[in-house]
């Protein structure tokens, strides 16, 4: 391979040099050979010399006082407009020609930092230590390139980056990224409530431990915080100069490398995450509603810009279920996921079971203890858990699941009678999420209160704890259990994702995407009407002769078998006019049951809509 250096002065000693940052021409990286040439003590020329005379040469002047580089109009072979240099706070990444604009000692190795405008010694380019290039064969352990000296890509071969100690590997990339130093990842934090404060406190408390475990001295620093009201009192104290009310300033800030979205909702959060991905800044989010409802568009942006979006904190708080399913179980065909993944509803159902509270009293207690939000709607109507189930289904089965096709019911209609009846039959009531693959390849996904046997391990999951049972063809049955909400558990997952994002930036885009991307164009969801279980059905009725016979005849007409009936009597009102009638029904398709219930509702003796619980076989 004919690597060579070129200088403007060699071609034309009298030539006037363009302004720093000027993009003279453009060519595809695949069609050209990069080279770098010293011009004077303050600037170098980075050029791509074409292999073919038909290509257009790219030359970019790089100021060493204010380093920056224009993006190429890669592969288009057309003249590009000059792009101004980034601000003086912007940093090059390893492997960029800009990586050699200054140096300092750190951890016994040379670390490259920005020159801060200081003129450089004329011999700088020849004396600068070697630095890794993004995606090349650099070894951080040995401090040198793994390529042999006779490899044309290696610095020892005399390639175009030899004076800088850089490989001329085809995977060299140059972009605006890791800011203040190559060791520190700048974080933009959108949201400084309970979880945002937890992230701040975790980084402050465990920063040294995180750096040690992350490896190679990787550190994290929060550089921007987006809030609605900067004056509001918060659980953590951060310098006032970090706060802003405009998330756009955070995304555009060149010192911010990773964006953390913790503002919730689906509108402003979508705009923020989409802007960060478009700016090639990795995203960490705990927003399950955003990903469940608009994940398809965001995953497409993630793929388009080769920038990952991490969301461990979006499912089950501090339980590392996303990483486990996506990475540890990568060789498993997961046939089912069964989860209790909303702590608020689980606490309410536990108190209704243990203390025999009714639903309003249990909800009130959960709010007093801080286990329920002021607006508890998403927790108790099932959608918070359903959003998490949708994300788990998307990861396991590889295609984006449409939230509108998912069956969801909440716990608002659960009564003490249902809890008591379940207990007497050997069951407990739990808000259960089911993701199950059937033999025809269709995926069943639903969320609703269900009867589960007391003998099953999920029956012992109480309080605000979460648990996810996974069944794979390799691992068999596995259970993931822990705190599913709260400041510290969720912040733990956010920080774990920050480390993944930091490694991605440190190792360069050639190291792989690292986040999740759908790997199937589409899949088939099993219609809810075709799903089958046994059922518990409670009918509010008028206490008169013939009620049981009327209901039973319509069930028989639909081909639904009855395993038992019961009409509990209130000792305080033995002659009450209105009572509840309970039927236990054999397994049948849900659609057939719905059809029968619609006819039963029209009976004069039925006073309210029937209440249905599935009896699960797990």
For 452-462, the pLDDT digits (tens) are 999 999 999 99
Q: Which residues pair with 49 in a beta bridge?
A: 33
Q: Residue 305: left (phi > 0), alpha (psi -120 to 50), or beta?
A: alpha
Assigned superfamily of 530-615 = ACT domain (3.30.70.260)
Tokens 């939000």 belong to: 373
- What is the spatial distance between Cα 431 and Cα 452, in angstroms, rounded to a whole number? 10
Q: Which of 213-217, 293-297, 388-392, 590-594 has the least mean pLDDT?
A: 213-217
What is the average pLDDT value for the chain, to the nearest integer? Answer: 77
- What is the spatial distance between Cα 353 and Cα 365, in angstroms, rounded to a whole number? 14
For 422-440, the pLDDT digits (tens) are 999 999 999 999 999 999 9
Most confident of 50-59, 128-137, 320-329: 320-329
Q: Give ranges for CATH 3.30.70.260 in the chain.
A: 530-615
Q: Which of 171-185, 369-383, 562-576, 583-597 has the least mean pLDDT?
A: 171-185
Q: Where are the alpha helices (DSSP H) in 65-148?
A: 124-127
pLDDT at 507: 80
| Residues whose CB falls within 8 Å of the CB of residue 364, separated by 6 or more in sequence, listed in order | none
pLDDT at 571: 62
More confident residue, 134 or 575: 575
Q: For the domain made up of 184-317+488-508, give the CATH fold.
A: Rossmann fold (3.40.50)
Identify the band that residue 148 occupies on the pLDDT scale cut at 50, 70 and 90: very low
Identify whether 388 is a catalytic site residue. yes
% residues pLDDT > 70 (the chain): 69
More confident residue, 346 or 104: 346
- Both tokens assigned to 205: 């408390």
- Residue 488, pLDDT above cutoff 50: yes
Q: Where are the alpha helices (DSSP H) in 110-193?
A: 124-127
pLDDT at 517: 86
For 312-365, the pLDDT digits (tens) are 999 998 999 999 999 999 999 999 999 999 999 999 999 999 999 999 999 999
What values do phi and psi take at 38, rounded to 5? -80, 135
Q: For the domain made up of 332-485, give the CATH fold.
A: Dihydrodipicolinate Reductase; domain 2 (3.30.360)
pLDDT at 590: 98
For 271-284, the pLDDT digits (tens) are 999 999 999 999 99
% residues pLDDT > 90 (the chain): 60
pLDDT at 574: 64
Q: Which of 40-49, 497-506, 584-593 has the least mean pLDDT?
A: 40-49
- Catalytic option among 288, 388, 430, 526: 388
Mean pLDDT across 441-468: 97
Does an H or E element contain 226, and which? Answer: strand 219-226
- Residue 198, pLDDT above cutoff 80: yes
- Residue 152, pLDDT above cutoff 90: no
Number of H helices, E strands in the chain: 15, 23
- What is the spatial distance between Cα 519 and Cα 424, in angstroms, rounded to a whole number? 46
Tokens 């002047």 belong to: 61
pLDDT at 512: 65
Q: Give ranges for CATH 3.40.50.720 in the chain.
A: 184-317+488-508
Q: Give ranges for CATH 3.30.360.10 in the chain.
A: 332-485
Tokens 């639904």 belong to: 560
Reduced to 3 states (helix: H, G, I; strand: E, B; else coil), residue 529 is: helix
Q: Is this prediction's pTM over 0.85?
A: no
Reduced to 3 states (helix: H, G, I; strand: E, B; else coil), residue 341 is: coil
Q: Which of 146-160, 385-399, 603-617 has the least mean pLDDT?
A: 146-160
- What is the spatial distance between Cα 314 and Cα 304, in angstroms, rounded to a whole number? 23
């Amino acid at each position: 391979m004919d690597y060579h250096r070129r200088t403007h002065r060699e071609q034309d000693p009298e030539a006037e040099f363009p302004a720093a940052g000027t993009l003279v021409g453009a060519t595809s990286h695949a069609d050209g050979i990069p080279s770098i040439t010293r011009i004077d003590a303050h600037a170098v020329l980075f050029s791509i010399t074409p292999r073919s005379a038909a290509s257009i040469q790219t030359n970019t002047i790089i100021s060493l006082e204010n380093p920056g580089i224009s993006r190429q109009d890669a592969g288009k072979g057309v003249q590009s407009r000059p792009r101004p240099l980034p601000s003086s706070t912007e940093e090059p990444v390893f492997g960029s020609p800009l990586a050699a604009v200054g140096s300092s000692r750190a951890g016994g190795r040379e670390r490259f930092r920005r020159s801060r405008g200081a003129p450089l010694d004329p011999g700088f380019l020849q004396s600068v230590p070697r630095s890794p290039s993004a995606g090349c064969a650099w070894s951080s352990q040995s401090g040198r390139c793994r390529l042999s000296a006779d490899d044309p890509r290696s610095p020892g071969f005399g390639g175009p980056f030899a004076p800088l100690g850089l490989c001329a590997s085809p995977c060299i990339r140059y972009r605006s990224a890791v800011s203040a130093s190559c060791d520190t990842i700048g974080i933009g934090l959108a949201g400084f409530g309970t979880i945002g404060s937890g992230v701040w406190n975790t980084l402050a408390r465990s920063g040294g431990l995180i750096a040690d475990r992350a490896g190679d001295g990787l550190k994290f620093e929060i550089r921007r915080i987006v809030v609605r009201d900067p004056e509001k009192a918060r659980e953590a104290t951060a310098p006032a100069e970090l706060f802003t009310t405009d998330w756009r300033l955070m995304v555009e800030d060149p010192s911010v490398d990773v964006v953390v979205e913790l503002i919730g909702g689906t509108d402003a959060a979508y705009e923020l995450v989409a802007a960060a991905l478009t700016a090639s800044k990795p995203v960490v989010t705990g927003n399950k509603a955003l990903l469940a409802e608009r994940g398809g568009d965001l995953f497409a942006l993630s793929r388009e810009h080769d920038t990952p979006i991490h969301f461990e904190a979006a499912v089950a708080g501090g339980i590392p279920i996303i990483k486990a399913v996506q990475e540890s179980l990568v060789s498993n065909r997961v046939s089912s996921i069964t989860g209790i993944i909303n702590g608020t509803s689980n606490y309410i159902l536990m108190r209704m079971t243990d203390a025999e509270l009714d639903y309003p009293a249990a909800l009130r207690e959960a709010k007093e203890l801080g286990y329920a939000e002021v607006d508890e709607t998403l927790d108790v109507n099932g959608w918070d858990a359903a959003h998490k189930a949708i994300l788990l289904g998307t990861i396991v089965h590889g295609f984006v699941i449409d939230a509108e096709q998912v069956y969801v019911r909440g716990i608002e209609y659960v009564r003490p009678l249902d809890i008591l009846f379940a207990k007497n039959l050997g069951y407990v009531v739990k808000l259960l999420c089911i993701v199950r693959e059937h033999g025809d390849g269709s995926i069943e996904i639903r969320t609703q209160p269900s009867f589960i046997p007391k003998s099953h391990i999920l029956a012992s999951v109480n309080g605000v704890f979460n648990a996810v049972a996974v069944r794979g063809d390799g691992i068999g049955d596995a259970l993931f259990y822990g705190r599913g909400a709260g400041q510290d558990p969720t912040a733990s997952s956010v920080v774990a994702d920050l480390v993944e994002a930091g490694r991605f930036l440190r190792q360069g885009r050639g190291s792989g995407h690292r986040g999740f991307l759908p790997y199937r164009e589409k899949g088939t969801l099993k219609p809810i009407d075709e799903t089958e279980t046994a059922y518990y059905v409670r009918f509010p009725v008028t206490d008169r002769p013939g009620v049981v016979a009327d209901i039973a005849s319509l069930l028989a007409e639909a081909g639904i078998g009855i395993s038992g009936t019961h009409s509990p009597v209130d000792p305080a009102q033995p002659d009450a006019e209105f009572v509840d009638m309970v039927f236990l029904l054999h397994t049948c398709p849900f659609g057939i049951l719905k059809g029968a219930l619609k006819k039963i509702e029209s009976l004069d003796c039925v006073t309210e809509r029937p209440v249905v619980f599935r009896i699960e076989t797990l």
